[in-house]
Structure 1
Amino acid sequence: MEIRPARPEDAPLVVPLFIQAMDDIASTLAGSEQPHEVQAFMTTFFQLPGNRLSYQNTLVAEEDQQVVGVLILYHGNQAAALDQPIIARLRELKNDPNITLDKEAEEDEWYIDTLSVSPRYGGRGIGTALLRAAEEHTSSGGPTKIALLVDKNSQRAYRLYQHLNYQQDAVVQISHHPYLHMTKNLGGV
């Protein structure tokens, strides 16, 4: 298995994994519940620089020359700026200048926005490998904190994160659904 930075041309293989992981959040970001509209939105924003869904923030895991897993990662102090293009699109689409997005990342942490593995490749350590690659990327600058959200009902994912020393420190609401905020200190913090 190889883990590498995503490229814009990865969109057809990456976007379905984004949607699989994000579920209702994908519809919120797209401003639509229509699958083809969600797919089109995700594809467009993945291929564009400067937003939270961009290929620039994405790592992919490849096996057998196929993308089998993805992880979106960015620093929390960039989250507001990365959300701006999506908010601007939603405000225009819905003709509502007051639309905002729920805050997911804290200013003092690296944030794993999305982690998704193809169901056909589950149980092979791909998610763990992507998490370790993200941790390696974030810890290169010294002591830091990395965080993620996990669906309150996803016990399998929760156990994986606990096994990798992530600790729950809060419960947050995203798109009217509770998520557990979990963090891990890296580099001696």
Structure 2
Amino acid sequence: MLLQLLDYLGVAVFAVTGGIVASRKQLDFIAFLFFATLTGVGGGTLRDLLLGVPVFWVGNEGYLLVCLIVSVFVWFFAHWIETLSKPLRWADAIGIAAYSVMGAAKSLTVGDTTLVAVLMGVSTATFGGILRDTIAREPSSIVKSEIYVSAAFAGAGSFVVLVNLGAPQPVAALLAAAIALVLRGGAILRGWTLPGYRARGSR
């Protein structure tokens, strides 16, 4: 039940980020729906295609309904959402936390190895946002120095490790999502980064 809620949460908050991007570009409602849906289900679609399992939203239209509801909400309340502090980045952070766990969990259910499960968690958590930014021609957080993909990696990795150590899935999911959210939140609030590559001989 908790994993299902995290799945819906991931879709919803990523759909919000897609709607925010559409609102900032002053697009029409169909574009709102397109960006919300693309961002909301993009990461999970890639995950299922790579895992070779039925794409999650094809067999459950509830996910598409979530994207539609979010589109309508952002269409009417984008101006209010924008009054919040960094709404796009915080919604993205929540989506990363939820989807990094969901991607890893689904991979484990089909019997994949630990490393594959972590990779699926990372791709599920980041691919929708990458698609959104690429199509909208916006700078993607993935190429910025602040912690982004690393937060997804920490969330997915923590979940897989905790499950392998025997932790109950709900406990592992909550702890792992919290770790990912704290890391991404630190990047948003404090500018946390990991050391970047420096060419030899550079200062």
Which TM-score applies when normalising by structure 2?
0.32
User: Looking at CA atoms only, which structure, 1 or 2, has the larger radius of gyration?
Assistant: 2
Structure scoring higher RCO (CA < 8 A, sep ≥ 6) equals 2
Which TM-score applies when normalising by structure 1?
0.34
Specify which structure has the higher proportion of strand. Answer: 1
Specify which structure has the higher proportion of helix. Answer: 2
